Structure 1
Amino acid sequence: MQDKLLFSEEYEAVTTRKTSQDRMNKLFSVIQHWTNSQKDKLYQVLKRNYPATVSIMEKATNQGEEFATHVETHKENIKYHFELIKDRNSRLGESTPLWRRYTPLVLLLKFRGEEEKKRELSSSGEEQAQILIDRSSEEYSPTSIEELFNPGDSGGVPKTVIIHGPAGIGKSLTGRKIIFDWATKNLYKDKFDFLFYLSYKDFTKITGNLSLAGLINKTSRLNLSPDVMSYILSNGERVGFLIASFDEMKCSLKEQSEICQDPFKEANRDVLLRSLLKGQLVKGASLIITTRPFLLEQLQTFLPDLPRLVEIVGYTADAREHYIQMYFGKRDSEKAVDITRRNEVLFSLCTVPFMCWVISTVTKQQISKYPSNFTTDTSMFLYYLKGLIIYHSRNGGMVHCLKKVCALANEGVLNQKVLFEEEDLRRHKLSVSLVESVFLSNVFFHGDIGKRTCYSFVHHSFQEFLAVLHYTMPGERESGKSGMRVVRESTYLPEICKGQSLMDLLEKHPHLALPVRFLFGLLNQTQIEDFNKSADCNLSFQGTTAMITWLFGGEITQFDTEHMLFLYETRDDEFMQYVVSRAVNLTFSQCQKSDNWVYQLAFCLKACEGKKVTLSGYVLNKEHMSALVPVLKKCSQVCFRSCRFADDVNSTSGWKNSLFASLVIQDSKIEDL
């Protein structure tokens, strides 16, 4: 009043309020409408009459401004370091935007029953696609990274969220997406002022003792003063830690272990991590942990509160297509999706993000030659396995573990088993820990009065591939002199080649068709040698005369579609030439269509140079003939028996002209196909 800042009516309205808080609220509502000049006068009055109070207010204001600056600096650091990622095959200086590699995954809160899990692991094609759609329904409690801290059914909000899944399923990429979206898209903006990212790489670089405050400054590239750090950590409810790849940190979770309660006290890295998990270092802080499933039970027991478990199941069919489209961009994306979708085996394993990356990477390298030189399924699985071994080789013991894992996989395939019990692992001297969990994952089910733990591979097709690797392992394969010969004169026939022939196996043991095809793929010595060199393994497998005899059921009198599919998997010209040299009749018959059959046929015909061949029962158009004519020209005689030709075949270069040494057409005709 004395400084003429308030009119009498306003002064009375303020002073007649009962509580000081009400009086301040009323005063604030009045001064909102003042000019800057009036506000400056009020500041001077308060400073003159209440200097201590103004000093406290100024300090708080400065701290708030400094705090906001540190938040923005932290977010800018995250944006800079997480916006781009390096692919495993990136050259120096190469990187890729995160948005090109991240595609939303199916995340579930609910564990499935045993039969449901078996279906997930064994299904492929349309059945698998439908299962993943079903898993995304409310029945299985799907969630997303935006909903990780949503209240549960009882209304409680979790303090810890554990995102778990097998190796290669996308845990690390999901963690990067979470921290990046917090910094750039206000993810969890109402929950966290600060979200700190701690990876196993940062963690394992710690030598000697370090405080949590020092660890935060180091890993977040900040330089916070002790006062600011203390202010941040004292408000633990507004702080979160994302602990990525916890399984790689090799931290002891024994209850009696040492714990630290002071974020400024230096301790070894295990003590820091245990204390953070226990909630002792930053009271009220929230945690997001990514890990493989083998540590779930230990973690749940060690944590002070019940965590929310989120399982990464993988990509739906639509998500797989989206990933491939993002990988390729506008150019060739449609062709790449078509190539992958038509291969049921590979498309099914593309539920696993790492396999999706492998297939996309290899496809991009070879798409200009598609499809005449496209990589086989066996090659793709070798690339996938090589990536797993190389990426996790820092753990040691990988090759020794692989031999035991392959023996388990083979036993499971022979007995049509996709879920394994503890006793199965003990029989093969396996225990699922850091190294073994690269290949095997824990699966939890209800028991009679408790829970039951089983183990599985990421997908049945990967189990089938590992099963045939069993026959390439030292001590498992037949002993014999190694040399340049492609085929040994031997009666050795791998146990997985059931029945009297391939046709007998397809009729009586159809579940073994894919693994046996993988077996033939492993006859390619070049790719085995490349794998051994890159993965530091000692795999070796050589074809035997017994295998060729089994493939055809005796003498080679006709090459059916099924035979050619298995021979094409070898992609070994020398092996194919040996097979042709044993044939009494080079008749190639199209009993049924299969994807890329024309290139499988062309591969077989390539080994028939200078020989008489017969093509029986084929339906051929211009595209088919364009692929076949170059190899048919080199045959001494070509006979088309009971074939049908499309109208456009006449325009195919080299067709029905003198470039053929000898051409015979029997019971064949040109039609409008």
Structure 2
Amino acid sequence: MENRSGISDLLLSILEDLPQEAFKRFKDKLSHTDFEGKGPIRRGRLENADWTDTKNLLMESYGGAAAVDVTIDVLTQINLQESAAQLRAGSEKVLSKEKKKTAQVKEETRGNNRQWNQGPYAETHHAKDLRIDNPSLKGSAYQRKYREHIQEEYQVIENRKALLGEHVSLTKRYTELLIVKEHRGREEKKHEIITRGRRHAELMAQQTSLTQINLLFDSDGNLQNPRTVVLQGAAGIGKTVTARKIMLDWAAGKLYWKKFDYVFYINCREINHILKNQSGAKNRSAADLVLNNCPDREGPIKEIFEKPEKLLFIIDGFDELNSLLDIDDVSLYMDPFEKRPVETTLCSLLRKKVLQKSFLLITTRPTALEKLKENLKLPRFAEIMGFSADERKEYFHKFFCDEKKATEAFNFVKENEMLFTMCFVPIVCWIICTVLKQQMEKKEDLTQTSKTTTSVYLLFLSTLITDHITDTIEQSKTNLWALCSLAADGILERKILFEEDDLKKHNLSLSNIHSLFLSKNIFQKDTEYENVYSFIHLSFQEFFAALFYVLEEDEEIMKNSLSSKKDVKSLLKNYGISTNNYLMLTVRFLFGLSNRERLNDTEKKLHCKTSSGIRDDLLQWFEEETKKISSLSYKTYEELHDQLELFHCL
């Protein structure tokens, strides 16, 4: 007996994921399809039908299972094989639901000899039991169950533009990213985002060395297929979303289907949290890391390990584990069931001491790259460059879900070189789309409200404050000042993750964060583990840090705060001697905010007074620096670059 409710929901989900133009082509082809002699659905009934109407017509005309078959057939005819494959995999899952339930009941009846601690990557007790496989499902039956579980876990992502806790389809929102397969050394004296932006423009001109996710483990003609691939990219460039999309596509049969029997995801942020905060035992085996991915944290682990060459481990966010590679080889081990400190276990996996024939895909920021490459065996390096011009356009259309609005917003951004360049970073592209959408909904002129990157960030922040005006103006000002001081201290200390003690130091309470910032993810409480906070992207922290120097000090707030004393001259002095210009974007934001128009906007939109002397201090520093560089008879490349960067500040 077919599960009509499940099939109906599945069909609706597939149809909703289709872009508007593809949905029109689907209805047109459907109106000409005579499936198994049942006749086509009349064009008149389909012409103005939305997703729900079309789904109902399919169910009414063909019945549950046949409706799936005809939909797959039509999707294939209009070259939407990915959607067809997704529907096929989903229908197999729905139609076998009763059988699956029966298997689950059998599995639940057996004794559970393993106990788990709560929290991520919990320790499995009675490690010897892991060597004996006794679940009811093994082989291809368990592989099918595991794939279904992974599809459930990875099919959605948090929707940053919606209310806290709302999600969107990963397939619907995901936009392909440019990836190059050649490895480059980390460029000195350049901020990650600025570096990637300039390098991205160069890549667009050259169009060389491009590759795709499905080719990462293929031979390049010189060596055998690599077993370790390092996928690097700047903050906010899409590494984690790409890693999760790989998990989803593998489970749906679209990627690495024949190459890997199992793909496992390891989140380095969670590992780092265990090392820093979790009390009690921190020992984990490789088996523990695998079972953390499995439904109910159980599976035929011995059988899985019999073919390590059919396993892929995705190690996401390696840069979160700064000291991992300081471990001596003597401490490493080969037994995948042996419990060791979790950092030793992960290091044994990276250095191919345990499960030597397995495959690794490691994502990291460039900051950890130099040390990482010294500890891997014959790795292949690839780099996520971000969105190309065409992919930025695609993202705008997916975000707005309206052809006219998407085109208007994209054309506006394309006219602004800085905004368009920054849109290569997915997280910044989302910020800009969010702000433009809000302005368009208010019928406001985009050219007057969104001229610069600084004004876009400022407008987004002011919208948040307006939306969350439950606090008094004075409370909002206090919370904003505290957030800015936290950001400024973090930038100076090169710190991006904050504990509750950091928040208390700056008089930030959880309720204030939640009411003013958390719901829109400007200042985000990490839902994967408690008591760790971060700005959703480094550029936000840099913006708030710059705002710290622009806002006029409140004596009462400063008296109760342990934050650094505000001194823009000291900041600019550090900028001049910094070894990698980590203050570059903060100083750019500072100049942008000190513009007279931005100062007026800040006071009007944020209800805060601005420092009267900040503009004079900046201009004096700028004049001194330009004179210093201009007086040089010969300029090195670095000095020419510094001179160019000074004019960027204006």
TM-score, length basis structure 2 = 0.51
**Residue 285 of structure 1, CA deviation:** 0.5
Q: Are residues 119 and 135 of structure 1, via their aligned partners in 2, closer, same or farther at CA, if it must alter by over 3 Å?
A: farther
**Residue 79 of structure 1, CA deviation:** 0.9
1:542 maps onto 2:618 in alignment: no
Aligned equivalents of 1:214, 1:466: Cα separation in 2:
38
Alignment of 1:378-417 (within 5 A): 378-381=454-457, 399-403=488-492
Question: Could you tell me whether the CA contact under 8 Å between 1:471 and 1:494 is conserved in 2?
Answer: no
1:186 corresponds, among 254, 265, 268, to: 254
Question: Could you tell me whether the CA contact under 8 Å between 1:160 and 1:287 is conserved in 2?
Answer: yes
State which drifts further: 248-257 or 357-366: 248-257
Instruction: Identify the structure with the greater helix proportion.
Output: 2
**Residue 325 of structure 1, CA deviation:** 0.7
**Residue 267 of structure 1, CA deviation:** 2.3
Question: Could you tell me whether the CA contact under 8 Å between 1:378 and 1:522 is conserved in 2?
Answer: no
**Corresponding residue number in structure 1 for 2:149:** 77
**Corresponding residue number in structure 2 for 1:146:** 214
**Corresponding residue number in structure 2 for 1:587:** none
Q: Are residues 514 and 243 of structure 1, via their aligned partners in 2, closer, same or farther at CA, if it must alter by over 3 Å?
A: closer
Deviations 1:441-470, CA, capped at 9 Å, x for gaps: xxxxxxxxxxxxxxxx99xxx79x969966
Larger Rg: 1
Aligned equivalents of 1:92, 1:546: Cα separation in 2:
38
SS of the residue corresponding to residue 253 of structure 1 reads: helix
Alignment of 1:297-316 (within 5 A): 297-303=370-376, 305-316=377-388
2:207 corresponds, among 108, 116, 136, to: 136
**Residue 275 of structure 1, CA deviation:** 1.4
Question: Could you tell me whether the CA contact under 8 Å between 1:129 and 1:317 is conserved in 2?
Answer: no
Alignment of 1:386-535 (within 5 A): 399-403=488-492, 472-473=548-549, 516-520=591-595, 521-522=598-599, 524-526=601-603
Alignment of 1:210-249 (within 5 A): 210-225=284-299, 228-249=300-321
Q: Are residues 547 and 279 of structure 1, via their aligned partners in 2, closer, same or farther at CA, if it must alter by over 3 Å?
A: closer
SS of the residue corresponding to residue 284 of structure 2 reads: coil
Aligned equivalents of 2:320, 2:173: Cα separation in 1:
23
Question: Could you tell me whether the CA contact under 8 Å between 1:468 and 1:516 is conserved in 2?
Answer: no
Aligned equivalents of 2:247, 2:256: Cα separation in 1:
10
Q: Which amino acid in the other structure matches residue 399 of structure 1? A: A
**Residue 172 of structure 1, CA deviation:** 0.7
Deviations 1:7-63, CA, capped at 9 Å, x for gaps: xxxxxxxxxxxxxxxxxxxxxxxxxxxxxxxxxxxxxxxxxxxxxxxxxxxxxxx99
**Residue 380 of structure 1, CA deviation:** 2.6
- CA-atom RMSD in angstroms: 4.9
Question: Could you tell me whether the CA contact under 8 Å between 1:120 and 1:131 is conserved in 2?
Answer: no
Q: Which amino acid in the other structure matches residue 134 of structure 1? A: A
**Corresponding residue number in structure 1 for 2:395:** 323
Aligned equivalents of 2:554, 2:297: Cα separation in 1:
64
Identity of aligned residues (%): 29
**Residue 516 of structure 1, CA deviation:** 4.3
Deviations 1:301-331, CA, capped at 9 Å, x for gaps: 222x121111111211111111111111135
**Residue 202 of structure 1, CA deviation:** 4.4
**Residue 482 of structure 1, CA deviation:** 11
Aligned equivalents of 1:380, 1:270: Cα separation in 2:
41
Deviations 1:78-128, CA, capped at 9 Å, x for gaps: 111111100335425511111233212121122469999999987999x98
Alignment of 1:242-391 (within 5 A): 242-256=314-328, 258-303=331-376, 305-330=377-402, 332-372=405-445, 374-375=449-450, 377-381=453-457
Aligned equivalents of 1:493, 1:115: Cα separation in 2:
27
**Corresponding residue number in structure 1 for 2:264:** 196
Question: Could you tell me whether the CA contact under 8 Å between 1:79 and 1:184 is conserved in 2?
Answer: yes
1:106 maps onto 2:175 in alignment: no
Gaps of 5+ in 2: 1-133, 465-478, 496-533, 558-566, 573-586, 621-650
SS of the residue corresponding to residue 295 of structure 2 reads: coil
Aligned equivalents of 1:67, 1:194: Cα separation in 2:
11
SS of the residue corresponding to residue 103 of structure 1 reads: coil
Q: Are residues 405 and 471 of structure 1, via their aligned partners in 2, closer, same or farther at CA, if it must alter by over 3 Å?
A: farther
SS of the residue corresponding to residue 91 of structure 1 reads: coil
State which drifts further: 352-361 or 336-345: 336-345
Aligned equivalents of 2:242, 2:454: Cα separation in 1:
29
Q: Which amino acid in the other structure matches residue 594 of structure 2? A: L
- Higher relative contact order, chain-length normalized (CA < 8 Å, sep 6+): 2
Q: Are residues 262 and 496 of structure 1, via their aligned partners in 2, closer, same or farther at CA, if it must alter by over 3 Å?
A: closer
Question: Could you tell me whether the CA contact under 8 Å between 1:493 and 1:547 is conserved in 2?
Answer: no
Q: Which amino acid in the other structure matches residue 97 of structure 1? A: S
Q: Are residues 540 and 237 of structure 1, via their aligned partners in 2, closer, same or farther at CA, if it must alter by over 3 Å?
A: farther
Question: Could you tell me whether the CA contact under 8 Å between 2:146 and 2:294 is conserved in 1?
Answer: yes
Gaps of 5+ in 1: 1-61, 407-437, 440-456, 484-491, 498-511, 531-538, 552-673
Aligned equivalents of 1:245, 1:317: Cα separation in 2:
26
Deviations 1:267-326, CA, capped at 9 Å, x for gaps: 2211221111122221300000111111112212222x1211111112111111111111
Q: Are residues 112 and 128 of structure 1, via their aligned partners in 2, closer, same or farther at CA, if it must alter by over 3 Å?
A: closer
SS of the residue corresponding to residue 266 of structure 2 reads: strand
Question: Could you tell me whether the CA contact under 8 Å between 1:175 and 1:244 is conserved in 2?
Answer: yes
Q: Are residues 480 and 383 of structure 1, via their aligned partners in 2, closer, same or farther at CA, if it must alter by over 3 Å?
A: closer
Question: Could you tell me whether the CA contact under 8 Å between 1:109 and 1:310 is conserved in 2?
Answer: yes
SS of the residue corresponding to residue 240 of structure 1 reads: strand
Question: Could you tell me whether the CA contact under 8 Å between 1:255 and 1:302 is conserved in 2?
Answer: no
Q: How many positions carry a matched residue from both structures?
A: 393
1:173 corresponds, among 241, 247, 259, to: 241
Deviations 1:546-568, CA, capped at 9 Å, x for gaps: 869x99xxxxxxxxxxxxxxxxx
**Residue 404 of structure 1, CA deviation:** 6.7
Aligned equivalents of 2:393, 2:172: Cα separation in 1:
13
**Residue 170 of structure 1, CA deviation:** 0.9
Q: Are residues 384 and 163 of structure 1, via their aligned partners in 2, closer, same or farther at CA, if it must alter by over 3 Å?
A: farther
**Residue 481 of structure 1, CA deviation:** 8.2
**Residue 165 of structure 1, CA deviation:** 1.3
Aligned equivalents of 1:270, 1:117: Cα separation in 2:
31
Question: Could you tell me whether the CA contact under 8 Å between 1:243 and 1:290 is conserved in 2?
Answer: yes
Aligned equivalents of 2:616, 2:454: Cα separation in 1:
18
Question: Could you tell me whether the CA contact under 8 Å between 2:240 and 2:316 is conserved in 1?
Answer: yes
Aligned equivalents of 1:545, 1:240: Cα separation in 2:
53
TM-score, length basis structure 1 = 0.49
Question: Could you tell me whether the CA contact under 8 Å between 2:175 and 2:395 is conserved in 1?
Answer: yes
**Residue 335 of structure 1, CA deviation:** 2.2
Question: Could you tell me whether the CA contact under 8 Å between 2:196 and 2:234 is conserved in 1?
Answer: no
SS of the residue corresponding to residue 336 of structure 1 reads: helix
Q: Are residues 467 and 223 of structure 1, via their aligned partners in 2, closer, same or farther at CA, if it must alter by over 3 Å?
A: closer
